[in-house]
Amino acid sequence: MLVQLARATLRVRWRCFSTSSRWQAPKPVAMEDFTSDLIRNFSIIAHIDHGKSTLADRLLELTGTIKKKEVGKNEQVLDKLKVERERGITVKAQTASMVHPVNGKNHILNLIDTPGHVDFSWEVSRSLAACQGALLLVDASQGVQAQTISVFHIAQERGLKIIPVLNKIDLPASQPERIAAQMQSTFGTDPSEILQISAKTGAGVDKVLQAIIERIPPPSGSTTDPLKAFLFDSFYDRYRGVISLVAVQNGILKKGDRIASYHTRKKYEVTEVGIMHPEETPATSLYPGQVGYIACNMKESSEAHIGDTLHRAGVSVDPMPGFKPAKAMVYAGIFPVDSADFPKLEESIKRLVLTDRSVTLQRESSTALGQGVRLGFLGTLHMDVFRQRLEDEHDANIIVTAPTVPYKVVYRDKEVFVSNPTEFPDAVEAASKVKEIQEPVVRASIIMPEEYFGEMMDLCFSHRGEELEHRYLDAGTASSARIMLNCILPLSEIVTDFFDQLKSRSSGFASFDYEEAGYRASDLAKMVFLLNGKPVDALALVIHRSKEDEIGRVWVKKLVKVIPRQQFEVPIQAAVGKKIIARETLKAYRADVTGGLYGGHVERKMKQLELQKEGKRRMKRMGTVEMPQEAFFEIMSTNKKA
């Protein structure tokens, strides 16, 4: 079987999100040998950078699934997006099956890789739904961090068997005994169950394989019960349409089966089944407990509903519990720098959304920026990653507006969610019709060494934190004890610079995580910016009244720097309702680009005039003021630092 799997692997291509070449099906792998007692489905869960992808690679190597990498090459097998390699973070959960013999019997181990950033906890949760166990990986030099705690709780809620693993024991700064004690006090872990490894050198990794087989229960399921498969992920292949990743619960799933979606009630014929090895490797069939992929002529990604139950057409089954859909927490408008590029941009965005189902989209138009798309993301990192993918993979030249959270406007007779500042009620409307405005808040937890406690309290207060409380995670020595600080923070306060400040004010030692905590009434208002007395829609912001002076001043200063001088003086003002909060004046200037050119420099002169003409084409008229699209780009990209 091992040989057969390895051969099949050699003949298949890499699964790739951006490009897809013609594909030739190798001989299918027979899966009937892998009865459910020989299957283990597991995930690796950890705080960001604690070594999940490195350990995944070592496990794939140790089981002979991939070849051992050349020393010095640092690319990880399961992190495949360019942005993942560049930023060293996992964005999209991936699956890989490996085969490992124990007592002369081949076992199949299905690893589902999970992302490690707080923005992607939805991906973590859905990956775990297909598992019976999880390796909880903790960096032995850093100890328990904010996301270690949140992923532990997700895994525990799902009833998974958790295997505690201390990683990076090769580092001189590692303190395995101390961190083991910390895990015991935080999670109630029995220190004798903790494995100590170095994913980098490979030390102790064989023990991990053994523990997966010994400690994680095999999936249950019956071959004779009606077919029931859980759909936990999907991606798009331009030749075969939507490919769904499934965990078979009962029955046997094979090519030619007529299946139906419980969610959409649509029927399909299965054209291919297989396992991720980690590339797609066709198989004859998938048996209960097995995790693999299917192709069934689904044309639209929206047909593959994450959390759906697939069953045999005409044979009904009780559905799986399913998932809460991903909820957008941060919204931003994306516009092309050159308005003529909109159709191409819209197409690129749609294609990218096919690979990232948690992004929501809606068309929007702005007088200042023209046609664009308003997108909803799980968080700001998610937004940044999407932007980078749009630029890297689709060569897009874009302007991204300031991020906004979804506010709740409570009128006397209805509640409306507003995720675009231009739609936020102005002062007049607010005074006459609106009962209350609410903003989303989160329950934040920050873990830090004791010496940064004061700084972190300060950070929370300056971001409107409430209900602060703290506790010690371990007793440690006076200088190295760790504290967990919890508080309620408005989501809008963490979508700008909170994370950067947390890192810089704690010299990188604090970690942060949050979960939604509903909505709270808040004193919010719309701030508009006026150029020569006329408001510019794309620049509107929703702000907390306690910060209106500070934000108004920063923004007008920024605007005066990036807007080119006009032939007349231009007042730049920040206003809330009728009240002007801040003002700068842009001095008049006569643009004579050829002024400095004399005599025979005709060619140069013509070129300058051409350039000016080109510039004019891209100018936007804001009332009486001309503003190049690039100025918006400048403002928006300096936005994060505001």
Ligand X SMILES: Nc1nc2c(ncn2[C@@H]2O[C@H](COP(=O)(O)OP(=O)(O)OP(=O)(O)O)[C@@H](O)[C@H]2O)c(=O)[nH]1
* Residue with smaller CB distance to ligand X, 201 or 585: 201
113 is in an annotated binding site: yes
Alpha-carbon span 559 to 572, nearest angstrom: 8
Q: Which amino acid is at 23?
A: W
Q: Residue 586 has which token pair?
A: 């842009």
Which of residues 90 and 348 has its CB atom nearest to ligand X in the complex?
A: 90
CB nearer to ligand X: give 39 or 89.
89
Cα 625 to the center of its chain, rounded Å = 38
If you search the block for the tokens 């904010």, which residue do you land on? Answer: 146
Smallest distance, ligand X to C-beta of residue 120, A: 9
558 belongs to an annotated ligand binding site: no
Residue 541, SS3? strand
Tell me whether residue 186 is annotated as binding.
no
In the complex, the smallest distance separating the C-beta of residue 516 from ligand X, rounded to whole angstroms, is 21
- The answer to whether the annotation marks 48 as part of a ligand binding site is yes
- Residue 51 marked ligand-binding: yes
Please indicate if the annotation marks 169 as binding a ligand: yes
Residue holding tokens 């009434």? 521
For the CB of residue 143, give the shortest distance to ligand X in the complex, in Å: 15
Residue of 377, 309, 332 lying closest to 122 (CA atoms): 377
Q: Is 2 helix (H, G, I), strand (E, B) or coil?
A: helix
Angle, helices 548-562/629-638, rounded to nearest 10 degrees? 140
CA 558/CA 319 separation, integer angstroms: 54
User: Can you tell me the distance from the alpha carbon of 54 to that of 262, in angstroms, rounded to the nearest whole number?
Assistant: 37
Nearer to ligand X (CB atom), residue 50 or residue 311: 50
Q: Consult the annotation and say whether 601 binds a ligand.
A: no
Residue 135: CB minimum distance to ligand X, A: 11
Give the residue with the Cβ less far from ligand X, 52 or 382.
Answer: 52
- Name the residue among 41, 100, 99 with its Cα closest to residue 219: 41
Q: Report the sign of the C-alpha dihedral through residues 502, 503, 504, 507, in that order.
A: positive
Contact 120, 84 (CB under 8 A): no
343 marked as part of a ligand binding site: no
Find residue 544's DSSP bridge partners: 524
Closest distance of CB 66 from ligand X, Å: 15
Tokens of 286: 């998938």
Ligand-binding annotation for 167, yes or no, is yes
115 or 133: whose CB is closer to ligand X? 115
512's CB contacts (< 8 A; 6+ apart) are 118, 146, 444, 445, 446, 498, 499, 502
Residue 52 assigned ligand-binding role = yes
User: Is 585 annotated as belonging to a binding site?
Assistant: no
Enumerate binding residues for ligand X (CB under 6 A): 46, 48-54, 88-90, 116, 167-168, 170-171, 198-200
The distance from CA 71 to its chain's CA centroid, rounded to whole angstroms, is: 30
* Residue 56 φ then ψ, to 5°: -60, -45
The tokens of 347 are what? 């197409």
User: Is residue 117 annotated as involved in ligand binding?
Assistant: yes
Of 304, 378, 299, nearest in space to 92 by CA: 378
SS3 content of the chain, % helix, strand, coil (to 5): 30, 30, 35
The total of other beta-carbon atoms located within 10 Å of residue 416's CB is: 12
Q: How far is the CB of 253 from ligand X (least distance, A)?
A: 30
Q: Shortest distance, CB of residue 165 to ligand X, whole angstroms?
A: 10
Sequence letter at residue 484: M
Work out how close the CB of 57 gets to ligand X at its nearest, in angstroms, rounded to a whole number. Answer: 8
Instruction: Tell me how far, at minimum, the Cβ of 53 lies from ligand X, in Å.
Output: 3
Question: Is 503 known to sit in a ligand binding site?
Answer: no
Q: Which is nearer to ligand X, 51 or 289 (CB)?
A: 51
Name residues whose C-beta falls within 8 Å of residue 592's C-beta, 6 or more positions apart in sequence. Answer: none
Tokens 């047909």: give the residue.
303
User: Of the two residues 29 and 112, which places its CB atom closer to ligand X in the complex?
Assistant: 112
Q: Which is nearer to ligand X, 48 or 109 (CB)?
A: 48
Q: How far is the CB of 200 from ligand X (least distance, A)?
A: 3
Pick between residue 145 and residue 501 the one whose CB is nearest to ligand X. Answer: 145
In the complex, which residue's CB is closest to ligand X? 116
Q: Which residues are annotated as a binding site for GTP?
A: 46-53, 113-117, 167-170
Q: Which residues are annotated as a binding site?
A: 46-53, 113-117, 167-170
